[in-house]
């Protein structure tokens, strides 16, 4: 679906920003009473965190 090993994601601040935005939006959805979308955005944030900080390999990307 997305190439999360792309060299574009090499800078740490980009990876932190993307994970924080997804998790923050998930929290916002929970607070405003939309738990379905809260679960979806939190899952995206957790998956991105796993890919960006545990299995990240920028040399395997297209960039």
Residue 62 clears pLDDT 70, i.e. is over it = no
| Rounded Cα gap, residues 28 and 35, in angstroms | 10
Domain residue ranges of the chain, discontinuous segments joined by +:
17-55
Q: Determine the pLDDT at residue 16.
A: 96
Would the pTM count as exceeding 0.75? yes
Say which residues have a Cβ less than 8 Å from residue 54's Cβ, sequence separation at least 6: none
Tens of pLDDT along 12-54? 999 999 999 999 999 999 999 999 999 999 999 999 999 999 9
Please say if the pLDDT value at position 59 is more than 80.
no
């Amino acid at each position: 679906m997305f190439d999360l090993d792309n060299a574009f994601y090499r800078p740490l601040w980009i990876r932190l920003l993307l994970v924080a935005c997804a998790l923050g939006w998930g929290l916002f959805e929970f607070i405003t009473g939309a738990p379905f979308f809260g679960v979806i955005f939190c899952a995206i944030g957790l998956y991105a965190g796993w890919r960006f900080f545990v299995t990240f390999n920028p040399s395997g990307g297209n960039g």
